[in-house]
């Protein structure tokens, strides 16, 4: 019988496709036990992948914007201990839509999905993360105030900047906590969100992003890093 006692566990939220799905594949390759979530109706690809993993990949469903679903998932996983909790889920609005023309409804959708909901997930699940574990969230280089010199994608940028700020407040509230807190910027990557003209392939981003996360294991406090481990200015 295989001894799995040293096997680490990651919970990946928003992993049905794109960067999240690639993170699942990469963690499995590295020998981790993975609990990955899609939204109800978008877990099929994860379930197909799970079939060949002898139980290393468990698939769950949650929409991070629905608090009842977040609470129910927590209930199902409350006996588990996580080495890494990572919230990848995110959305964007139309690239050309500025703050001048976005509807209130669309603004709320982007902000609630990208800023409020990842933090709610982290607040709800942080009790499952080991004392020396990692809590991470997919930010973006677009969330940097310093680097915003061209203004493009302004609502999406604002949602990731708000996420960064909320993580800083979380870090301040937990300043005596030994766990590592990460805001990750994957680069501009060819996915449904990044589009076909993006600079990087998934293969150029995600293995490096995971290696960066591993390199920061045990380094407590909050770090805003890109996929190559470079510090992103706030
Ligand atoms: N691609 C890039 O260039 C880039 C650059 C910087 C940062 N990012 C960030 O990286 C993350 C992943 O991006 P991606 O390019 O892989 O995007 P994607 O291909 O559009 O995938 C987005 C993922 O988020 C999930 N999601 C969206 N809303 C959700 C919700 N309410 N609850 C649960 N899951 C939800 C989607 O699930 P469904 O399949 O159910 O819709 C999907 O798994 C996002 O946070 C994005 O902002 C991407």
Whether 174 is in the pocket of ligand 1, judged by its Cβ within 6 Å, is no
Whether 188 is in the pocket of ligand 1, judged by its Cβ within 6 Å, is yes
Whether 88 is in the pocket of ligand 1, judged by its Cβ within 6 Å, is yes
Q: What percent of the chain has pLDDT over 90?
A: 97
Task: Tell me the per-residue pLDDT of 168-211, one tens digit each, with 9 for 90 and over.
Answer: 999 999 999 999 999 999 999 999 999 999 999 999 999 999 99
Q: How far is the CA of 89 from the centre of ligand 1 (A)?
A: 4
Q: What local confidence, expressed as pLDDT, does residue 36 receive?
A: 98
The full 3-state SS of the chain, as one line of letters, equals CCCCCCCCEEEEECCCCHHHHHHHHHHHHCCCEEEEEECCCCCHHHHHHHHCCCCCEEEEECCCCCHHHHHHHHHHHCCCCEEEEEECCCCCCCCCCCCCCCCHHHHHHHHHHHHHHHHHHHHHHHHHEEEEEEEEEECCHHHCCCCCCCCCCHHHHHHHHHHHHHHHHHHHHCCCCCCEEEEEECCCECCCCCCCCCCECHHHHHHHHHHHHHHCCCCCEEEEEECCCCECCC
Q: What local confidence, expressed as pLDDT, does residue 107 receive?
A: 98
Domain ranges of the chain: 9-226
Task: Tell me the per-residue pLDDT of 75-101, one tens digit each, with 9 for 90 and over.
Answer: 999 999 999 999 999 999 999 999 999
Task: Tell me the per-residue pLDDT of 121-165, one tens digit each, with 9 for 90 and over.
Answer: 999 999 999 999 999 999 999 999 999 999 999 999 999 999 999
> Which residue from 91, 109, 232 has its CB within 8 A of the most atoms of ligand 1, so it is best to mutate?
91
Q: How far is the CA of 163 from the centre of ligand 1 (A)?
A: 14
Whether 65 is in the pocket of ligand 1, judged by its Cβ within 6 Å, is yes
Q: Whose CA is nearest to atom 21 of ligand 1?
A: 18
pTM of the predicted protein model: 0.97
Q: What local confidence, expressed as pLDDT, does residue 111 receive?
A: 98
Report the CATH superfamily, name and number, of domain 9-226. Answer: NAD(P)-binding Rossmann-like Domain (3.40.50.720)
């Amino acid at each position: 019988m295989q001894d799995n006692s040293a096997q680490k566990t990651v919970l990946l939220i928003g992993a049905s496709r794109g960067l999240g799905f690639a993170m699942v594949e990469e963690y499995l390759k590295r020998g981790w036990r993975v609990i990955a979530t899609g939204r109800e109706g978008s877990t099929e690809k994860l379930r197909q992948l799970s079939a060949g993993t002898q139980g290393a990949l468990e698939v769950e469903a949650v929409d991070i914007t629905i608090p009842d679903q977040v609470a129910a998932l927590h209930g199902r996983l409350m006996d588990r201990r996580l080495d890494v909790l990572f919230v990848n889920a995110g959305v964007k609005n139309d690239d050309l839509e500025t703050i001048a023309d976005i509807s209130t409804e669309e603004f709320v959708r982007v902000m609630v999905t990208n800023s409020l909901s990842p933090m709610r997930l982290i607040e709800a699940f942080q009790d499952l993360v080991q004392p020396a574990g990692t809590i991470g969230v997919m930010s973006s280089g677009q969330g940097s105030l310093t680097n915003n010199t061209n203004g493009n994608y302004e609502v999406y940028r604002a949602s990731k900047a708000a996420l960064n700020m909320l993580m800083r407040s979380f870090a301040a509230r937990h300043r005596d906590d030994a766990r590592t807190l990460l805001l990750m910027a994957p680069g501009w990557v060819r996915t449904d969100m990044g589009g076909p003209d993006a600079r990087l392939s998934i293969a150029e981003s995600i293995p490096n992003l995971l290696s960066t996360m591993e390199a920061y294991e045990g380094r407590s406090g909050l770090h805003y890093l890109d996929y190559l481990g470079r510090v992103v200015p706030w």
